[in-house]
Structure 1
């Protein structure tokens, strides 16, 4: 008897494991062939079908991503508006890269033996990327993101100027020296990207 239940004795004396195809042969016995990566069945039992291969590839990718996420050091998102703007840039870059791949194709379709004409994966990914771009850019347009980011930057600048003024007051700095200190702080803030300061 095998421990853990991972392997079970086969009627012919061989063992069938979880790594075997889950389909059964015509004689009713479990198939002993290896399944297609990410799928539960082998090529002879439907694993070679385009839809099965596509689903298997998606499951395998999902498993890889989940493993990668498990190793990530996740930090809180302090500025969701800025993060959304960065996401839009990444989505656009991905769409443009796929567009270049599609432009280099000689044909957007290919003949699959036994399954007829199929659309190339690059084309499907490009179409999906365009849909994602439309969604993200539509969300940004509805949020009026540029104006919101500008207001956030102005608020941050106001907080810094108020902190400088409080420090000057505490130090007893007044008159021309206080004005000069505020001007220096304003010049430094103008040099910081996305932070607007007036005065």
Structure 2
């Protein structure tokens, strides 16, 4: 159900303004910019109104994205101190990439990426602007990760994990008290199974 205006008691179109003539009823114009409150005839295409509309539209899009994916929202309370800055940088980068992907889907679903301004020129939709900003942010974060040696650290962790796995396997096999024939078979079976996991 449409909201009834507190001032006139009637339902408006997209424009929230009132007509000066015809009893001061609601303006029924639907030619309002994304994020705007009033139509062109009521000042909705002035420079300050356009800026305010773009800011509201940006906030609406970001809020909608975070509501659709609560995991993307950062908890406001109970945040622990950063113990591992590199790990935090990695998670922030992943969040930026996730937001970029979500915005990319929104951009792809738009019928038009531009709309006409008051001066007759074309304006880019807020979704596209936010997408381009997210791309720029993602590039900066990825560059920071590369310069921080993140990949070298990941490889080192993988090597440590592999070494722990080998040690654990050796302990398990020692406790099984295998026959000499079974011990020889382990040297064939284990590498085959590990290759199968990576296939």
Residue 41 of structure 1: CA displacement?
Answer: 1.8
The separation in 1 between residues aligned to 2:5 and 2:145, in whole angstroms, is 55
Q: How far off is 1:186 after superposition?
A: 4.2
TM-score in terms of structure 2 length: 0.52
1:167 to 2:172 alignment:
yes
CA distance in 2, matches of 1:123, 1:70: 22
Residue 15 of structure 1 pairs with residue 19 of structure 2: no
Name the count of aligned residue pairs. Answer: 163
- In the TM superposition, what whole-angstrom CA distance separates every residue of 1:44-67 from its partner, at most 9, and x where no partner exists? 444445434422332331232133
Specify which of 88, 99, 118 is matched with residue 114 of structure 1: 118
Give me the whole-angstrom Cα distance separating, in 2, the residues matched to 1:71 and 1:140. 22
The aligned counterpart of 1:68 is 68
> Are 2:143 and 1:138 equivalent residues in the alignment?
yes
The answer for unaligned runs of 5 or more in structure 2 is 73-86, 109-113
Task: Please report the RMSD computed on the Cα atoms of aligned residues, expressed in angstroms.
Answer: 4.9
Cα distance change of structure 1 residues 192 and 42 upon mapping to structure 2, 3 Å threshold = same
Cα deviation digits, residues 108-128 of structure 1 (max 9, x gap): xx8945335456459845752
Map Cα deviations across residues 127-173 of structure 1 (whole Å, 9 max, x no partner).
52552243122221232122111112112211221221111111113
Q: Distance in 2 between matches of 1:117 and 1:9?
A: 35
**The residue matched to 1:15 in structure 2 has which SS?**
coil
> Could you say which structure has the higher strand fraction?
1
What corresponds to 1:3 in structure 2? none
From 39, 56, 81, the equivalent of 1:43 is 39
Distance of 2:5 and 2:136 partners within structure 1: 47
